Amino acid sequence: MPAYTPLPTSATDPPPRRSSPSSSNLLTNLLDRLPAPVQHFLESHPLKTRPVRLGAAVLAGFLVLSLLGTALHSRSSGGSIRGYPLAGSEGRGKWGTYASWLPGFSGSSSTADGGGSWEGYTGSGAGWRELPENDGLREPMLVKDEKTGKMMPPEVYPAALNPFKRANAAFVALVRNGEREAMRDSMRSVESRFNRRFGYPWVFLNDEPFDEDFKVGVMKMTRSEVFFAQIPKEHWSYPEWINQTYAADERQKMVNENVIYGGSESYRHMCRFNSGFFFKQKILESFDWYWRVEPGVELFCDIDYDVFHFMEANNKVYGFTIVLYEYLRTVETLWDATREFARLHPDYIHPENTIRFLVDDEKKGLQDGDWNLCHFWSNFEIGSLKFWRSQPYEDYFKFLDEKGGFFYERWGDAPVHSFAAALFLPQSAIHNFYDISYRHNPYQTCPQNRKLFHDNGKCECYPENSFDTDGRWWKVDGNPHEL
């Protein structure tokens, strides 16, 4: 039973729970099942280097699918492969096109002149050759298209060829109807740089109903399932203990001081929602992991591995790309409130916490030190939903919410998430995705290691344009760019 089963394309109901996968030894198992000549080929190419491993993985997936395809015998047999519906079966149907060539393996032969290495493509950069030699590949099985009469090579859609189980993960975007085009830009980037290899679903959240233009527009950007949900009123409104007159007065003061978003009520609801409620949405119930995507963001490097499995396999809970300073005026009492909470719940503070990332003077610690205003920039997050659903965070958010600072000041979800991650988690559970080149105006990161990320064509960014070229912001873990 595959852990990852695509569901109907557009839905408002939460998808059923997906079992938690384990992909360990999957490659080994796949390799063991391959025909002897292929195993021989792989053995003669020690699986030590990453490029060869990748090539082997693709080849293994290709061959396993081909065996499955042969077993299916007929194009009209329906059914599914690892949960991807074949042509003619129910569902969105986008996966169908890929599957239609499978029976071709028992049919016509190729006219391509195979053999030899792809000399024209070897390039000069180290590590470019992530493809197996042509000698180790099959001839493309050409199938005659009945409508056009043309000979068609197999379709190679990476997510469908990826044989590894998926995590219980989704992209999550809180977004307004008016941000459709910026959302589509983000999706174009995420899909081409990452998700076309994995096919993770998208979940869109909004305090208002999504309009048809938005829905159709974003569905065109992905071959994965897409879910839409409206946020319940109680997650996007004033709690009864908030003095709205006082809140309005405080907003006016911020407007007078030109504080960014100082006068905006919706921005405050948004920050409170992202702090305390996004992970409680019914549509996300069945998921364990999320990647937060905002409209208008961009990725500049290929991400060829499953970031969610990475998180799971390394006991990571919270992943970030950019760390920066918060505007003090928007969070004047947040640090004190957090210290008060920590005094009430000393048991929630993890012994291997990263308080030193937050305080101006490491020696003073949480209760005596001042906050240096550092926080994870939460418009990008890859994280565990279970963490936000845990008791310590539940209690922390409730405590903060009762203080009223989301409305009387303008507490952001970024410092709130950052404090929780730094206090309740061990340092080892926080990960800097330095290899994900990410841009949200006006900042962007770009990996510094030219050999690993640039000479091989993996990234299109310029290392010197990175916001953080020397790892000085997240000092806790050393400088990741030196890895």
Ligand X SMILES: Nc1nc2c(ncn2[C@@H]2O[C@H](COP(=O)(O)OP(=O)(O)O)[C@@H](O)[C@H]2O)c(=O)[nH]1
**Which residue from 434, 433, 423, 318 is spatially nearest to 371, judged by alpha carbons?**
423
The mark string for 340-379 relative to Mg ion (x by CB under 5 A, - otherwise) is: ---------------------------------------x
Q: Rank residues 166 and 272 by Cβ distance to ligand X and give the closer one.
A: 272
Partner that binds at residue 460, options ligand X, Mg ion, none, CB closer than 5 to 8 Å by kind = none
By CB under 5 A, residue 207 contacts Mg ion? no
Residues near ligand X (CB under 6 A) are 174-176, 179, 206-207, 266-267, 270, 294-295, 379
**Which residue from 169, 293, 240, 279 is spatially nearest to 407, judged by alpha carbons?**
240
By CB under 5 A, residue 294 contacts Mg ion? yes
> CA–CA separation, 292 vs 413, rounded Å?
12
How many CA atoms does the CB half-sphere of 408 hold within 13 Å? 14
The pairing of strands 169-174 and 289-292 is parallel
User: Is 289 within 8 Å of 311 (Cβ atoms)?
Assistant: yes
Identify the H or E element spanning 230.
strand 226-230
> Considering the complex, what minimum distance in angstroms separates the CB of residue 258 from Mg ion?
19
> Considering the complex, what minimum distance in angstroms separates the CB of residue 111 from ligand X?
50
Q: Rank residues 292 and 458 by Cβ distance to ligand X and give the closer one.
A: 292
Q: Rank residues 56 and 183 by Cβ distance to ligand X and give the closer one.
A: 183
Q: Is 179 a catalytic residue?
A: no
User: Is 125 within 8 Å of 450 (Cβ atoms)?
Assistant: no
By CB under 5 A, residue 460 contacts Mg ion? no
| Adjacent-strand bridge partners of 439 | 298, 444
Burial class from Cβ neighbours inside 10 Å (0-12, 13-18, 19+) for residue 11 reads middle
Q: What residues contact residue 305 under an 8 Å CB cut-off, 6+ apart?
A: none
User: What's the Rg (C-alpha) of the chain?
Assistant: 25
Q: Rank residues 199 and 295 by Cβ distance to Mg ion and give the closer one.
A: 295
Catalytic residue (choose from 130, 191, 225, 381): 381
> Considering the complex, what minimum distance in angstroms separates the CB of residue 193 from ligand X?
19
Burial class from Cβ neighbours inside 10 Å (0-12, 13-18, 19+) for residue 242 reads middle
> CA–CA separation, 183 vs 462, rounded Å?
24
Q: Rank residues 132 and 412 by Cβ distance to ligand X and give the closer one.
A: 412
Partner that binds at residue 266, options Mg ion, ligand X, none, CB closer than 5 to 8 Å by kind = ligand X
Instruction: Give ∠ CA 139-143-145 in degrees, rounded to 5.
Output: 150
> Considering the complex, what minimum distance in angstroms separates the CB of residue 175 from ligand X?
4
* Angle of helix 391-403 versus helix 334-344 axis, rounded to 10: 130
Q: Rank residues 4 and 300 by Cβ distance to Mg ion and give the closer one.
A: 300
Partner that binds at residue 49, options Mg ion, ligand X, none, CB closer than 5 to 8 Å by kind = none
User: Is 384 within 8 Å of 289 (Cβ atoms)?
Assistant: yes
> CA–CA separation, 164 vs 3, rounded Å?
10
Q: Rank residues 353 and 379 by Cβ distance to ligand X and give the closer one.
A: 379
Residues of this chain that bind Mg ion (CB under 5 A): 294, 379
Catalytic site positions = 381
